[in-house]
Amino acid sequence: MKELKTHAGFPIAPAYGPEDLAGVDFERDIGRPGEYPFTRGIHKHMYRERLWTMRQYTGFGTPEETNARFKYLMAHGQDALNVAFDLPTQLGLDSDDVKAEGEVGRVGMAVDTLADMEAAFAGIPLDRVSVSLTINGMAAPITAMYYAVAEKQGAAPERVVTTPQNDILKEFIARGTWIYPVDPSLRLVADLIEFSARRYPRSNPVSVCGYHIREAGCTTAQEMAYGLAIAAAYVELMLTRGMAVDDFAPRISFNFTAWGKIFEEVAKFRAGRRLYARMLRERFGASNPRSWMFRSLIGGGGSAFAVQEPENNIVRGAYIALAGALAGAQTMALPTYDEAYTIPSPKAQLIALRTMQICAEESGAADTADPLAGSYYVEALTTAMEKQIIDELGRVERMGGIVEAVKSGAIQAEVARQAYLYEQRIVTGEVPKGAVNCHVGEQPVEADRDVELYSFDPRTTEAQLAKLARIRAQRDNGVVNATLDRLTDEARGRQNLMEPIMEAVKAYATLGEMAQAMRRVFGEHQEAVKL
């Protein structure tokens, strides 16, 4: 008989029965939906009362182009937004910086000043539409721009809902769009959490992102373990500032993948929810039940898809949507079938949106809360996954905790190791992938000629540079310089930097100018090399 394993590495039995649930206590470990420890979901009736939010990841070219795509998706039923920023923006570089050459607007929306965010959200009421901002090192200035746009629209702060990713630890681990060393980077994370908790109570000022760590190569269990460890680090960070845990923990959110084996993914989230609930209540003393809730965006990553026969990716996307629904997602985002080729086309994004809508309305997956509860297989997987996550959390502690593990490069090395091992499993066929390592004809299918490739227009860069030059000429540069000087001065102290950042943003200081004002004090991160 063929032996099978989960992506986390533990074996899958041919069949499961009551004997596999020995030691599981229903009330303690499983419980009811909407009740501690939230194994079965954070709401009593789940999707019968409120469907998951649908938020496709979107952004390219100029803010004006991105705004048009936002409105296209919303016209087809998307009820929230998820913004992609170009690489210079993520790195705190202005579009006219020599280091930005060739990258302006290429893999996301270019943002230089508040004027760009005004253009991106023109005609979109920010007191009625929730928006995720996939930004990390520059989360503080970009979120400040978002708040400033909302203010200009007349939106009441208590009605503004935004979710800047603001998870710099995963950036050090998995993506590399960091700017400052670890400690000042954590300061900026904390500044945004503190500022938002006090001024924008419905915003989610940090979205802990296991997603990118999984995309970088870690196992299923490691994705959840590292996410929980990062969340704990941010909680501890805020506690050292004197904030009460219940003043900020209800607004912590998560971003995870669900592209693997469906039942393993469901088990990962069920185990993660109860581990998080217990951590917040027992370790950190949170008393507000909302502080115990693991609120998650669930989606897939490009690594789930393949260049070969790209239409197959539509099917893969449907399974990701199903996994997310069965796992209890609060928000869902799907990769598009053309993602292995290009910036998503309108057609591809519409198919991904329709996939989520069909899953919600036609499949029955949303009809009842946690429909897989009581399955011998799923409950056994949930228990096994919980144990594996706990084991991985123990390994992180032996590295000195997540922050020290990031500083030393130990976590980065482990993720790289797992990525290599997984790629080996793909090459050998141990992990099957249709049209890639199995079901491949004698004449492999060539790249699909019907995929609509995004053609980057050099005029995009020209338009962005012209706008930036115009803003620099029209603004009061004396005021701008004064705000930047204040930002630098306060960076030398211990004050919350969001107020001077907001001041600089409203003066139309550029992202690069604000980044440099802080770089003068903080310096730049030097990545640990682990051989």
Contact yes or no for 166/192 (Cβ under 8 A): yes
Note the pLDDT tens digit of each residue in 237-290.
999 999 999 999 999 999 999 998 999 999 999 999 999 999 999 999 999 999
Q: Which residues of 109-134 are buried (b: 16+ CB within 10 A; e: fewer)?
A: bbbbbbbbbbbbbeebebeebbbbbb
- d(CA 67, CA 79) in angstroms, rounded, equals 15
Q: What is the pLDDT of residue 448?
A: 53
Distance, CA of 105 to CA of 375 (rounded, Å): 47
Cβ partners under 8 Å of residue 450, min gap 6: none
* Distance between CA atoms of residues 250 and 266, nearest Å: 23
Provide, rounded to the nearest whole percent, the portion of the chain with pLDDT above 90.
Answer: 88
Looking at residue 457, its pLDDT comes to 83
What is the model's pTM? 0.96
Domains and CATH numbers, the chain: 34-428 (3.20.20.240), 476-522 (no CATH)
Inter-CA distances, 299 with 143, 259, 296, 335, 477, Å: 23, 7, 10, 7, 43
DSSP-assigned beta bridge partners for residue 331: 53, 297
pLDDT of residue 343: 87
**Residues forming beta bridges with residue 162, ordered by sequence position:** 131
Instruction: Report the candidate in 355, 401, 343, 458 with the shortest Cα–Cα distance to residue 77.
Output: 355
Predicted pLDDT of residue 393? 98
Strand pairing of 206-209 and 162-164? unpaired
- Which stretches of the chain drop beneath a pLDDT of 70? 443-449, 529-531
φ/ψ of residue 59, rounded to 5? 160, 130
Do 468 and 112 form a contact (C-beta atoms < 8 A)?
A: yes
Residue written as token pair 């592209």: 259
pLDDT digits (tens, 9 = 90+) for 349-387: 999 999 999 999 999 999 999 999 999 999 999 999 999
Q: Which token pair is 87?
A: 């690489």
Going along 157-260, which residue ranges are E strands? 162-164, 206-209, 252-257
CB-based contacts of 484: which residues, under 8 Å, 6+ apart?
504, 509, 513, 514, 517
Comparing CA positions, the residue from 266, 254, 209, 218 lying closest to residue 383 is 266
Q: Are 333 and 56 in contact (CB under 8 A)?
A: yes
The tens digit of pLDDT for each residue in 380-410 reads 999 999 999 999 999 999 999 999 999 999 9
For residue 466, what pLDDT is reported? 97
Residue 415's nearest CA partner among 208, 217, 215, 176 is: 217
pLDDT digits (tens, 9 = 90+) for 215-252: 999 999 999 999 999 999 999 999 999 999 999 999 99
